[in-house]
């Protein structure tokens, strides 16, 4: 009797889980957004194009411009400039995909999570969110500790404080081997969280001031350094061959990560359909130009063999007798890290807001302050998690497991562009009889992603060039099949050019980079996916409401939630 009674229950659970996991979210209508805004439960549209560009630059340009450039140049030589160009081109492909979707979903927050929810299904969207959140949380804690260290370094320029500040204040002090105590990093996170809780206008103003400051410092460094360039230092341009340049591109790719933050500003943009695509692409192209300028200056000032690995740009100017520029670089690093951290915390809270509205997380995350118009609860939660990590853990040891979430998210966004073009118009061309056109297309996309990972692994372990060619050919044929076996319609607003080829190249390159990550990142991806699946099975599937376009029903109570 027990066996027969439990069987229907088990069948019912699986049936419900499948039904919930495969449902998608409809695109919100303009009237729904008007209801939310007028009711006081939504965010306020205060961000113009200039603000969005500065958000993108603020998220991307951190201390990496003063560190990563020299670190990679140590191996790739002056060819590091090509590394940044290759990585920049790859990011531009991702940015084009983000720009189209930002134009298509201009009214609500959510970014990659929202796009995945609409293009694929609820479970995939939740898995994308979980992977991105780990990157954001650990990244914020890591940046906070680095920022604290830079602040202490600047304070120690004052003779009274030199060598008198305990290590546990800003640099971190090891405790019991596993912990690293830091008091300044959580304080910084508290201050930035308070700024973000006050309102998007105040936080945008702080970001604008800090971003303009660091950009001016970088431009000053480039201009002053240009007069100290010795062109003979650019020869040989690629001392260690093409592979070191390509390997360098996989490293510096992460220096560009952050342009996607603009997409999460959708609900606070004044003219989202026009400004979001321009903000995403414009901020990225500006970052590419800055990185190229810094690369040319640093490799022209000092022979690449003599570049330091911790603060190469600062040491390059010190070696030329311009120590004041080195001090200026430290201030630029503080400004850069501050804006990167500020925008990172901002993006996280908006993602939590989106999931709270959809019921995949508790309703408290969907609450928006009636006068500040900010998701205070989500913002405090984000600051709390980052503060605990930054105050107690040496988060640098967790760096090996970062970036897999961002790269996965970028790949899914690129796939979303392709699949949403299918949904615009039903394919009229003949397809295989035993499988639907959509399923066939998804198989081709998975084949491209698999080829990207295989190529990355082969490249990483120095496999024969023949195998790389075979994998590349399979990916090319899969992309051609996508072109020939599907019908694509151009969407309204900004459209990513070259669909499905451009998104396919983007997917291939992103997954290629995933293969270059430390194996711990792969383990983290699998383990976190399993945990997220359990959370969804126990909570998300029972509370989610993909029809919550307005989000009003989540603002005060649990009512209005429905289950498919």
pLDDT in tens, 240-279: 888 899 888 988 888 898 888 898 888 888 888 889 999 9
CA atoms within 13 A on the CB side of 94: 31
Decide if 132 is inside a domain: yes
Decide if 4 is inside a domain: no
Residues of the chain with pLDDT > 90: what percent?
55
DSSP string covering 516-547: TS-HHHHHHHHHHHHHHHHHIIIIIHHH--TT
| 321 torsion bin: left (phi>0), alpha (psi -120 to 50), beta (else) | left
Read off the CATH number of the domain in which 96 is found.
1.20.1740.10
Mean pLDDT of the chain: 86
Decide if 377 is inside a domain: yes
Supply the pLDDT for residue 7.
55
In terms of Cβ atoms closer than 10 Å to its own Cβ (0-12, 13-18, 19+), residue 234 is middle
At 219, the pLDDT band (50, 70, 90 cuts) reads: very high
Supply the pLDDT for residue 149.
86
| Structural domain of 290 | 48-425+486-542
End-to-end Cα distance, the chain: 30
Supply the pLDDT for residue 289.
95
Supply the pLDDT for residue 9.
62
**Predicted confidence (pLDDT) at residue 296 exceeds the cutoff of 60:** yes
Decide if 434 is inside a domain: no
Decide if 225 is inside a domain: yes
- How many angstroms separate the CA atoms of 510 and 410, rounded? 7
Supply the pLDDT for residue 285.
95
**Predicted confidence (pLDDT) at residue 452 exceeds the cutoff of 50:** yes
Decide if 22 is inside a domain: no
Supply the pLDDT for residue 159.
85
- Long-range Cβ pairs for the range 536-540 (8 Å, 24+): 536/21, 536/123, 536/126, 536/127, 536/360, 537/17, 539/360, 540/20, 540/122, 540/126, 540/359, 540/360
At 179, the pLDDT band (50, 70, 90 cuts) reads: confident
Single out the residue of 41, 52, 109 nearest to residue 349, CA to CA: 109
DSSP string covering 14-70: HHHHHHHHT--PPPPPHHHHHHHHHHT-S----B-HHHHHHHHHHHH-STHHHHHHH
- How many angstroms separate the CA atoms of 130 and 529, rounded? 8
Q: Return the bridge partners of 173, or none.
A: 181
**Predicted confidence (pLDDT) at residue 563 exceeds the cutoff of 60:** no
Decide if 558 is inside a domain: no
Supply the pLDDT for residue 423.
58
Most confident residue range from 148-152, 316-320, 438-442: 438-442
pTM of structure: 0.88
Main-chain phi, psi angles of 268, to 5 degrees: -110, 10
- How many angstroms separate the CA atoms of 413 and 310, rounded? 34
- How many angstroms separate the CA atoms of 394 and 406, rounded? 21
- How many angstroms separate the CA atoms of 9 and 21, rounded? 18
Cis peptide preceding 520, ω within 30 of 0: no
Supply the pLDDT for residue 26.
78
**Predicted confidence (pLDDT) at residue 560 exceeds the cutoff of 70:** no
Decide if 440 is inside a domain: no
Helix, strand or coil, per DSSP, at residue 238: coil
- Please, what's the largest Cα pairwise distance for the chain? 87
H or E stretch including 181? strand 179-181
pLDDT in tens, 299-349: 999 999 888 666 778 888 888 888 888 889 889 989 999 999 999 999 999
At 287, the pLDDT band (50, 70, 90 cuts) reads: very high
pLDDT in tens, 57-76: 999 988 678 778 887 888 89
Mean pLDDT over residues 489-518, rounded?
A: 92
Mean pLDDT over residues 455-468, rounded?
A: 93
410 with 510: CB under 8 angstroms? Answer: yes
At 1, the pLDDT band (50, 70, 90 cuts) reads: very low
Please report, for residues 94, 283, 306, 339, 344, the alpha-carbon distance to residue 268 in angstroms, rounded to integers and kept in the order given.
Answer: 22, 17, 47, 18, 16
Mean pLDDT over residues 426-447, rounded?
A: 74
Least confident range of 7-16, 235-244, 286-295, 337-346: 7-16
Main-chain phi, psi angles of 253, to 5 degrees: -50, -40
Looking at the structure of the chain, the number of domains it has is 1
């Amino acid at each position: 009797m027990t066996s027969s009674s439990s069987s229907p229950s088990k069948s019912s659970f699986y049936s419900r889980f499948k039904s919930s996991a495969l449902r998608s979210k409809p695109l919100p209508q303009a009237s729904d957004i008007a209801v939310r805004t007028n009711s006081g439960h939504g965010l306020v549209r205060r961000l113009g194009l200039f603000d969005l560009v500065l958000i993108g630059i603020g998220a991307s340009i951190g201390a990496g411009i003063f560190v990563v450039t020299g670190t990679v140049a140590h191996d790739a030589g002056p060819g590091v400039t090509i590394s940044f160009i290759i990585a920049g081109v790859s990011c531009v492909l991702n940015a084009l995909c983000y720009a189209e979707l930002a134009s298509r979903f201009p009214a609500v927050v959510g970014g990659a999570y929202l796009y995945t929810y609409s293009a694929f299904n609820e479970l995939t969207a939740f898995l994308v969110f979980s992977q991105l959140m780990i990157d954001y949380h650990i990244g914020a804690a890591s940046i906070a500790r680095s920022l604290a260290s830079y602040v202490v370094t600047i304070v120690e320029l004052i003779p009274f404080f030199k060598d008198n500040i305990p290590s546990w204040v800003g640099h971190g002090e090891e405790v019991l081997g596993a912990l690293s105590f830091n008091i300044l990093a959580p304080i910084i996170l508290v201050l930035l969280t308070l700024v973000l809780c006050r309102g998007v206008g105040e936080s945008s103003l702080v970001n604008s001031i800090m971003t303009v400051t660091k950009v001016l410092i970088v431009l000053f460094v480039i201009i002053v350094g240009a007069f100290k360039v010795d062109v003979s230092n650019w020869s040989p341009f690629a001392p260690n061959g093409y592979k070191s340049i390509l390997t360098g591109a996989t490293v510096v790719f992460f220096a560009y990560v952050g342009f996607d933050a603009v997409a999460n500003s959708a609900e606070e943009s004044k003219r989202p359909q026009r400004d979001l695509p321009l903000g995403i692409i414009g901020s990225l192209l500006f970052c590419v130009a800055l990185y190229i300028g810094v690369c040319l200056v640093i490799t022209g000032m000092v022979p690449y063999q003599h570049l330091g690995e911790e603060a190469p740009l600062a040491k390059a100017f010190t070696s030329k007798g311009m120590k004041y520029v080195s001090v200026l670089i430290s201030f630029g690093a503080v400004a850069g890290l501050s804006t990167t951290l500020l925008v990172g915390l901002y993006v996280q809270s908006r993602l939590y807001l989106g999931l709270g509205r959809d019921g995949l997380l508790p309703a408290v995350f969907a609450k928006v302050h009636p006068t500040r118009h900010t998701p205070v609860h989500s913002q405090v939660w984000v600051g709390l998690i980052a503060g605990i990590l930054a105050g107690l853990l040496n988060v640098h040891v967790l760096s090996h497991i970062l970036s897999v979430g961002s790269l996965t998210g970028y790949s899914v966004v690129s796939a979303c562009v392709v699949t949403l073009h299918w949904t615009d118009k039903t394919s009229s061309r003949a397809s295989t009889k035993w499988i639907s056109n959509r399923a066939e297309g998804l198989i081709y996309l998975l084949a491209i992603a698999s080829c990207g990972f295989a190529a990355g692994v082969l490249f990483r372990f120095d496999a024969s060039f023949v195998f790389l060619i075979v994998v590349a050919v399979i990916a090319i044929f899969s992309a051609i099949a996508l072109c020939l076996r599907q019908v694509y319609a151009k969407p309204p607003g900004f459209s990513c050019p070259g669909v499905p080829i451009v998104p396919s190249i983007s997917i291939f390159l992103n997954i290629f980079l995933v293969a270059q990550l430390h194996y711990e990142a792969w383990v983290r991806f699998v383990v976190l996916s399993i945990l997220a699946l359990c959370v969804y099975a126990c909570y998300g599937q029972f509370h989610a409401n993909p029809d919550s376009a307005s989000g009003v029903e989540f603002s005060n109570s649990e009512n209005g939630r429905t289950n498919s």
